[in-house]
Amino acid sequence: MKILTGNDLKTGDVTWWDGQGWSRHVNDAVDVGDKADEIAAREEASRNVVGAYAIDATKDENGVRPAHIKDRIRALGPTVRPDLTLKPADPAAGNWVI
């Protein structure tokens, strides 16, 4: 599937297009099909997001998994600071990105 990601213009937070708006959680990301450019242009123009781009991802019972390690690290947070990731209580969360 194709999912759309970017950063919140004001806060810089990593966000994912969830069909209605932008979520901080990659598991909320929805398949944008061939609409990525259209959504990105609209959302950037209304200043909800900056630097939006589409990526490949897969979805299974464990959730949405971006195809490239860079976007998995974006989805989680820095692997060397588990305390600052979106899963601070899970010290093994970093294994997911590899």
Partner 1 sequence: MYKYDNYDQQMVDTRVEEFRDQTRRRLSGELSEEKFRPLRLMNGLYLQLHAYMLRVAVPYGTLSGAQMKALGDIADKYDRGYGHFTTRQNIQYNWIKLEDAPDILADLAKVEMHAIQTSGNCIRNISSDHFAGAAADELVDPRPYAELLRQWSSFHPEFSYLPRKFKIAVIAADTDRAAMRLHDIGIQIVKNDAGEIGCAFYVGGGMGRTPMVAPLIREFVPLDDLITYSEACVRVYNRNGRRDNKYKARIKILVHEMGKDEYTRQVEEEFAHLKSQGIEPPLAELERIKPYFADPAFKTGLSDKIDRTDPDFALWVDRNTVTHKAPGYVSAVISLKPVGGIPGDASADQIRLMGELATEYSFDECRVTHTQNIVLPHVEKARLKDLFDVLDANGLSSPNLDTIEDIIACPGLDYCSLANARSIPVAQKISKRFAGSGKTAELGELKLKISGCINACGHHHAGHIGILGVDRKGVENYQLLLGGSEAEDTSLGKITGPGFSEDGIVDAVEKAADVYIANREDGERFLDTYRRIGMDPFKEAIYG
Residues of this chain that interact with partner 1 (CB under 8 A) are: 7, 9-14, 44, 47, 50-51, 67-70, 73-74, 77-81, 84
Q: What's the min distance (Å) between Cβ of 59 and partner 1?
A: 18
Give the nearest distance from C-beta 1 to partner 1 in angstroms.
17
> Which helix (H) or strand (E) segment is 41 a member of?
helix 36-45
Q: Could you tell me the two tokens for 55?
A: 């990526």
Nearest approach, Cβ of residue 71 and partner 1 (Å): 9
Task: State the burial class of residue 57 (Cβ atoms within 10 Å of its Cβ: 0-12, 13-18, 19+).
Answer: buried
